[in-house]
Amino acid sequence: MADLQSKNGLREHEHVISVLVENRAGVLARISGMFSARGFNIDSLTVGETADPTVSRMTITARGDDSIIEQIIKQLRKLIDVIRVVDLSHKDHVDRELVLVKVKADKKTRGEIVQITEIFRAKTVDVSHEEMTIEVVGDQNKISAILDMFRPFGILEVARTGRVAMFRGAETLKL
């Protein structure tokens, strides 16, 4: 969890908030609208259907001091289609993100890019004469590290999914 100094002098943390919602049209708009209306920023947002097709799971990452995050969670819990909200940040959890990165790659640099890709257990998903597209799955540290390694070659494009997260071990986010 990254610590940042906010404008008001309080310590901000990045929080990973998991939200179970009714799988209905307009829910995402209501949740993102709640953030916008209150001036909260969403760093990343992922949403997908759960094992129960009537329920979706959202993973929201947002920064703020403890009082801001507490406000976000209280406001989320008030929304009609929200079933459950949990801040995973202070709990034992695992999170991952998928990133596609397009890197300049000519005959001279392609071998080195392949080596970096293999070291990070990433995958080459597309190759052309001048570029390679690499798929990377991992936590923020892994993503940052491989992007740093690719920068000297020239990153042409990056597409990120945002983080998904869940508890480690037996604990689950249940209805």
What is the number of other CB atoms lying within 10 angstroms of the CB of residue 129? 8
pLDDT of residue 12: 66
3-state secondary structure of 67: helix
Token reading at 70: 């507490």
One of 3.30.43.10, 3.20.20.70, 3.30.70.2740, 3.30.70.260 is the CATH number of 3-91, namely: 3.30.70.260
Q: Is the pLDDT of residue 120 over 90?
A: yes
Range list of β-strands (E), the chain: 3-5, 11-22, 44-49, 55-64, 82-87, 93-104, 123-127, 131-138, 155-167
CATH 3.30.70.1150 fits 94-167, yes or no: yes
Q: Is the pLDDT of residue 5 over 70?
A: no
Over residues 19-64, the pLDDT tens digits come to 999 999 999 999 999 988 888 889 999 999 999 999 999 999 998 8
- The CA distance from 89 to 70, in Å, is 12
Angle, alpha carbons 38-94-142 (nearest 5°): 95
- The CA distance from 106 to 137, in Å, is 24
Domain edges within the chain: 3-91, 94-167
Over residues 142-170, the pLDDT tens digits come to 999 999 999 999 999 999 999 999 999 88
pLDDT of residue 68: 86
